[in-house]
A and B are shown apart, each in its own frame.
Chain A
Amino acid sequence: MIGAIARSKRIDAAEIRPETTFEELGMDSLDAIELLFEIEEEFDLTVEDEAVQGKETVGQVIEAVLEALADEPGAGGDAPAGGE
């Protein structure tokens, strides 16, 4: 996930730490939904809106994604993300 952020924002992955906030990375809401899309594609899972709402740091989102992975072992990608 840190790699995905580093790629999308063109910054060194080493500069991204769990406590780094998305604001510090200059990420807006559009960047955030792209990042979630990449995570969902990478791990073949669906991250619900509620799971990541209010999350401000990279570490918080990693935690939420890990929880989603635990809830959805072997996620098959058959559950579409919440509506438009």
Chain B
Amino acid sequence: MVVTGIGVVSALGPDRESFWSALAAGRPGLEPITGLDTSRLSFNRGGEAREFRPQDHLDDALTHLADRFAQFTIVAAREAVADAGLEPGELGGARCGVMTGSCVGGQTSEDEAFVRLYRQDRPRVHPLSVPRIMANAGASLVSMDLGIQGPGFTVSTACSSANHALGQALWMIRGGAIDRAVAGGGEAPFSFGNLMAWNAMRVVSRDTCRPFSADRSGMILGEGAAMLVLEEAAAARARGARIYAELAGCGMSSDAHHITQPSEQGPGRAMAAALADAGLAPEQVGYVNAHGTGTRANDATETAAIRGVFGAHADRLAVSSTKSMHGHALGAAGALEAAATVLAMSTGLLPPTANFTAADPECDLDVVPNEARAASVEAALSNSFAFGGLNAVLAFRT
């Protein structure tokens, strides 16, 4: 299965080009949050998609119907399909699927609806609340927008959602159920209620996101969407499509351990399963786009998990967390990072871990600090590990 199209909306800009140019420059998009009042939060930074203006892309009716997370998803899907050199009518109808990840769905619309009820004591909520809030709205509206008539669904596995969605897309194409998929994830978690919930978890940094750095103090939330066009390699070549990279495998696992504490074994099993599914030896991998949230626990545990899977080869791996630049977009994170990984492989430039200040003995990998690095890699992994211990890792081959 190969990736032939990429579309992105993120804190780094409203399209793929702005996303990649910021990653390549090591330029973070994590700024003080402007969309709402942060005075009751202990943190004030986020990766907001500030340059995204729905009216630049969507008509009034669709803007009115779609929550922000679904707007991102539609726009990213359109960009991915155009990038693949396909018209919506050429996607394959019932032989094309749409799979999205979303952790919190239409959070902004839900918050607005319940503010009316609980705070303003209004007798009713807006009648579009349900279709706006439902987590599958992104997949549904993409199917309508692009005429995709095959299997469509949304996976919700917190921070791994998009990787689970992309893995399912891979396996459905490989299994012959469909010929093509438009898959990824979208998320817009910046509602006041949701931010207060994250505040209560005490995992969001008051500083910024500094993955693997000795002074890291937590994650920074992000928003956006990334959608990829996946299709069989032979079909892509036959139509003369540009191929970014092969999505060669996916590995999934459950920690069966703790609802929020990360484990070393679960992620290790997912990485090993992704390599096995792709038919890759650990030594063939040159780059890992880490889950790398920037929390004390994740980054040390992920380092140990990578060492467990790769053994001595771990010291020859480049490992970076692009969350340091686009933020942690929860259900869209895996999709943004799959886009970053594929663009890194196709351009021969590995995006760095930004905001890195000092090495931590517990994170003693080559984390590509602060500056992108020219390197051609044969294969790469993209890790997503979720609250709830549900892990999904994608394996790509050049």
Contacts and interface: CB of A to CB of B under 8 A. Distances in A.
Contact of B126 (A37, A78, A79, A84): A37
Interface of A: 10, 30, 33-34, 36-37, 40-41, 46, 77-81, 84
B60 to A, nearest CB: 8
A77 B131 CA distance: 24
Contacts of A30: 127-128, 131
Contacts of A77: 122-123
A51 B16 CA distance: 51
A34 B127 contact: yes
B127 A37 contact: yes
Given A34-B126, A80-B123, 18 more contacts: A30-B127, A30-B128, A30-B131, A33-B127, A34-B127, A36-B127, A37-B124, A37-B126, A37-B127, A40-B123, A40-B124, A77-B122, A77-B123, A78-B123, A79-B123, A81-B123, A81-B124, A84-B130
B91 to A, nearest CB: 25
A68 to B, nearest CB: 14
Contacts of A84: 130
Contacts of A40: 123-124
Is chain B's binding surface mostly helix, strand, loop or mixed? Answer: loop
Nearest to B123: A77
Contacts of A79: 123
Nearest to B122: A77
A20 to B, nearest CB: 20
A79 to B, nearest CB: 7
A78 to B, nearest CB: 7
A80 B127 contact: no
Nearest to A10: B60
A64 to B, nearest CB: 17
Residue with the highest number of chain A CB atoms closer than 10 Å, among B60, B123, B131: B123
Nearest to B121: A77
Contacts of A34: 126-128
